[in-house]
Amino acid sequence: METARRYSPNGASTSRTASPPYSNSPRASRPLPQPRSVPDLHGRARKKAELNRLTQEIQLLEEEMQRLETLPPASEVCQELVQSIESRSDPFVGTNPVEAQWDRWFRGIFAGLVGVVT
């Protein structure tokens, strides 16, 4: 290492060793040149595919909105459904006169339970 002599303003000499060029001094640390990066083609393709998918989804939603705007309001459809149901008789409801003794099977069961409980 080389020794350099310096003189201070009052005339005293100071010695200092010269630092090698590879030291960690702030003057010697310059950022190293970086190699040029390769373009990220895979990322571009992924972003482009995502953009195309979103564009298609937007188009489908716009078409669906246009179709929904041409439909009649739901209240009209509900009224038509109620009228259609009320106009037909229920196949599970009998057309014969109501029998007065329809609950005769239950009377025996409940009578037996009431006797057990009391």
Per-residue model confidence as pLDDT tens digits over 50-99:
999 999 999 999 999 999 898 888 888 899 999 998 888 877 777 777 66
Q: How much is the mean pLDDT over the chain?
A: 75
User: Residue 28 — pLDDT band, cuts 50, 70, 90?
Assistant: low
Tokens of 19: 């630092």
Residue 22's pLDDT is 56
On whether residue 59 sits in a domain, the answer given is yes
Smallest CA-to-CA distance from 13 within 4, 1, 21 is with 4
Residue 63's pLDDT is 96
On whether residue 78 sits in a domain, the answer given is no
Smallest CA-to-CA distance from 18 within 30, 8, 6 is with 6
Residue 27's pLDDT is 62
On whether residue 6 sits in a domain, the answer given is no
Range of the domain at 65: 44-70
User: Could you tell me the pTM of the whole model?
Assistant: 0.34
On whether residue 24 sits in a domain, the answer given is no
Buried b (16+ CB within 10 A) or exposed e, 30-54: eeeeeeeeeeeeeeeeeeeeeeeee
Residue 3's pLDDT is 55
Tell me how many domains the chain contains.
Answer: 1
On whether residue 65 sits in a domain, the answer given is yes
Q: State mean pLDDT over 9-20.
A: 56
Q: State mean pLDDT over 16-34.
A: 64
Residue type at 13 in one-letter notation: S
Contact call for residues 13 and 24 (beta carbons, < 8 A): no
On whether residue 105 sits in a domain, the answer given is no
3-state helix, strand and coil shares in percent for the chain, rounded to the nearest 5? 50, 10, 40
Contact call for residues 17 and 3 (beta carbons, < 8 A): yes
User: Residue 11 — pLDDT band, cuts 50, 70, 90?
Assistant: low
How many whole angstroms separate alpha carbon 103 and alpha carbon 18? 115
On whether residue 116 sits in a domain, the answer given is no
On whether residue 87 sits in a domain, the answer given is no
